[in-house]
Each structure stands twice: as C-alpha cells, then as structure tokens.
Amino acid sequence: MRGHKLLNILIFVGLIAGVIVGFLLLKWFDSQDLTGAEIGQKIKWLATAGDLILIRPLKMLIIPLVFASVVVGITSIGDPSRLGLVGTTTIVYYFATMFVAVVLGAFLVTSIRPGDGVSQKIDFDQVRETFENSDTSPKKKIEGAPKDLGGAWSNILRQVIPDNVLGAAVEGQPLPVITFAILFGLALGFLGDRVKPAVDFFEAFFQAIMTLVGWVLWLTPIGVFLLVAWTIASLGGEAIAAVGKYMIVVITGLIIHGFLTLPLVLFLFGQTNPYRFMWRMRPALMTAFGTDSSSATLPVTIRTAETEGECSKRASGFVLPLGSTINMDGTALYEAVAVIFLFQVFGIELGFEALAVVALTATLAAVGAAGIPSAGLVTMVIVIQAVNTSLAGTGKPELPIWSIGIILGVDRIVDMCRTTINVWGDLVGAKIITRIAPDDEDQRAAAMG
C-alpha cells in the first residue's frame, strides 16, 4: 500500500514539474522569437525520451492485455442473460454520455462564440500553407482516413468484424482483437468445466500482464514529466493568442462534463461517492493526461480500476478495453466545439439542422477515433464534410478542410485534457457496471451501498 502512495505522489510531482519546466522553456524560447512548431522541433528529444520511457512499454502490453482481460471478463460474467444486460447497458452508457457531452459542447460554443473576431488575428494563407506542406501536417493522415459518414461506418464495421485477427493484432488495432476475445470468451463459457484449464491459463496470463503493468507504472512519473514539459513548451505564444478563447470553451466543457455530469451519473447509477472514486483513479487520469492516449493508458486504467477502485474484473475486463477505443466523451465534446468554432471563424452561421448534424456526426467521429494522440483531429473531417453537405443548396459557403490548421498549434494540450475525460468516462462506466456484474457477493453488497 505504501508503494502505491509513493507512486501516486511521484506521478503528481512529475506532472507538476512537467508543467513548470514546460512554461519556463516556453518563456525562454519565446524571448528568442521562436514559433511553437520551431520550439517543438528543437526539444523533440523530450518527446522521444517520453515515448521510449513510457509510451512504448505501455503500448507493448496493450494487445496481450486486451485479449486476456476481455476473455477473463467474459468468461467470468458467465450467465448469457447477465452478459446481454452488461453488454447493452455498456453500449447505452457509452452513447448516452457521449451525446450529452456533444450537446454540452455545442451549447457552450454557440453561446460564448469564441470564433467571433478571430479572423482578423489569423493569416489564413499561412495556416493553409502550414497545413498542406509542413512535416508534421495532419494532411497525410486525413487523406488516409475516411471522410464521409458511409466511409466512417464501414471502417468501424470492418474493425468490429475482422477477417484477420492476428493481422489486426500485429498492427496494434484493439477493436478486432476485442471482438475475437468476446467470441472466444463466450465459447469457453459455453464449454464450461471441460475447458477449465484454458480459463485458468488466461486468468494466470492476465495476472502476469497486470504485474508487468505494475512495473511499468514506476516509469510513469518520468515519462509524464518529459511529455508534459514538451507539450507545454511547444505551445508557442502565437497559437494561444488567436485561439485562446476556443481552448477555454473546450476546457470549460470538459470540466463541466468531468466534474458534474459524469459524477452525477455515477452517483445515480453507481451509488458511489464520485469524487472519492475520482481521487482514487488519479494514477490513470494523470497517465492519460501525460500520454495523450486512452489506449496507451489502458493498462494503467485496468489496474487502477481493479486495485484501487474496487471495480469488478467482470466489469473492467469488458467495459475498459472497449471503452478505450469507443467511448470518448472528451473527444465528442471537443469535435463539436472545434467544428462550430471553425465555422464561426469563417463567418458561416449554422442553423438548427446543421447543429443537429454536428451533434450526430461528432458522436460517431468520436467512436471512430482511435485511442491515440490527435485521432480526434483526423476524424473531425467527417463532421466538417457532413455539415458542408447539409449546407449545400442553402447558399452558404463550405468550410475548407485546411481550416483545421487554425487549431493545430494548441491541439496537443487540448488532446491531453480530452483524453483525461475519455478515460474518466470509461472508469465511471466500469464502476456502474460493477453493480450489475460484481465479482462476488461481498462486492455486490459494497456496490449496492
């Protein structure tokens, strides 16, 4: 227990030290008149070191962990009717909370209007040029990603129904592995006692991976320090000046969703003290903030939920892996705010119908976003295209895709905040589902209060 406490303190210290060093570097480079992108390049070694020390070790564990935890989760839920209830409740929870997040984001951005007056502060030619030509431009990623609703759906469906699960595993795609693990777990459950050694094997496999996660966790303080320092230093004063208000709107939305909406949902449906639970989940939340990736954080999320959050293996083995790729409340909120903000910058007014399109497609775009850095930025194109299509025939101009370049400079910091809320949403789901699928009677009694 003392080890846990020390680790939590160290992660916190790493995070705060990262913020302080990041701001000091930012100030220092700013005085040399460097832009955010230039600073980012100059101190790229910080990001590379953070990648080597924390992100890669965590990523190494993801696929084996996803497979083992889902198999163990599904086999231990057992009873097919309970499994149906857990599955349905989980999916309803994911979509309902994402939709609420989108509506909140749309409400805030249409009332505060952070896009008004921004166009005078921006050099559009330069934004376009940077978006299309720079080395770090997301243009290439966007070109390879689906751009319309049909493409997005079929992309998700192809992952949900994979033809080559090993190929997907090799490419590090969790969703196809989850599908296979659910089916495999069902088959093991169906065969019952005859395959008990296999069930025991996966249980032991899962425990071993969890032990590895425990070891990697000790790298978190230094990894988080390096990554946070790099992100803050490469923000660049010029980016914040133009889109600071937009950042404030996204972060305010994330705070309201994370500190009010989700706690309320947890209180009502999980009968848990939400803030105490949030406090206990801080290793996972701080790792999410530092790594900028729900998938990379997943090993820490599962471990923290089980060891410190009293979530059942049944609930966390299923809700957390699936949630890390599907359930993204923070990303959904951000997509809505960012798209409406960009339309505001270009002076294009969106009516109710267009806002409804934003709400629906932002939810889907968040589902389609992988749990990796900047994934939401890429799937945002789906939302922009859908709104552009809905505007056809109204006489209003289209929003160019390169307009995404306007928010590029601050996206990493916004991404860290939304990733934290994505992971928090998954944890709240796991705690709620623990009530339906506790591991034993003691836990059931505790979950029922």
76 binds ligand ASP (CB under 6 A): no
Place of tokens 């996204």: 250
| Nearer to ligand ASP among residue 101 and residue 369 (C-beta) | 369
369 binds ligand ASP (CB under 6 A): yes
- Which helix (H) or strand (E) segment holds residue 373: the answer is none
**Residue-wise over 265-294: b if at least 16 C-beta within 10 A, else e?**
bbeebbebebeebbebbbbbbbbbbbbbbb
Out of 54, 281, 328, 407, the only residue in the binding site for ligand ASP (CB under 6 A) is: 328
> In whole angstroms, how close is the CB of 27 to ligand ASP at the nearest point?
27
> In whole angstroms, how close is the CB of 307 to ligand ASP at the nearest point?
22
> In whole angstroms, how close is the CB of 103 to ligand ASP at the nearest point?
18
Residues 376-405 that bind ligand ASP (CB under 6 A): 376
> In whole angstroms, how close is the CB of 402 to ligand ASP at the nearest point?
19
| Nearer to ligand ASP among residue 57 and residue 376 (C-beta) | 376
Looking at residue 36, the DSSP 8-state letter turns out to be: H
> In whole angstroms, how close is the CB of 379 to ligand ASP at the nearest point?
8
| Nearer to ligand ASP among residue 72 and residue 401 (C-beta) | 401
What torsion do the CA atoms of 383, 387, 388, 393 make, to the nearest 10 degrees?
Answer: 160
Task: In whole angstroms, give the CA distance from residue 71 to residue 372.
Answer: 23
Looking at residue 34, the DSSP 8-state letter turns out to be: -
> In whole angstroms, how close is the CB of 55 to ligand ASP at the nearest point?
12
**Binding segment (CB under 6 A) for ligand ASP, from list 8-16, 55-63, 97-105, 373-381:** 373-381
Task: In whole angstroms, give the CA distance from residue 250 to residue 115.
Answer: 12
Q: At what angle do helices 375-391 and 411-436 cross, to 10 degrees?
A: 90
Out of 176, 373, 429, 438, the only residue in the binding site for ligand ASP (CB under 6 A) is: 373
| Nearer to ligand ASP among residue 175 and residue 328 (C-beta) | 328
The answer to whether the beta carbons of residues 109 and 249 sit under 8 Å apart is yes
Q: 46 is written with which tokens?
A: 């910080």
Out of 372, 406, 430, 436, the only residue in the binding site for ligand ASP (CB under 6 A) is: 372
Task: In whole angstroms, give the CA distance from residue 318 to residue 302.
Answer: 10
Residues 6+ apart with CB under 8 A from 52: none
> In whole angstroms, how close is the CB of 345 to ligand ASP at the nearest point?
20
Residues 284-323 that bind ligand ASP (CB under 6 A): 292-294
Q: Please provide the size of the chain in residues.
A: 449
Return residues touching ligand ASP (CB under 6 A). Answer: 292-294, 328, 331, 369, 371-376, 415, 418-419, 422
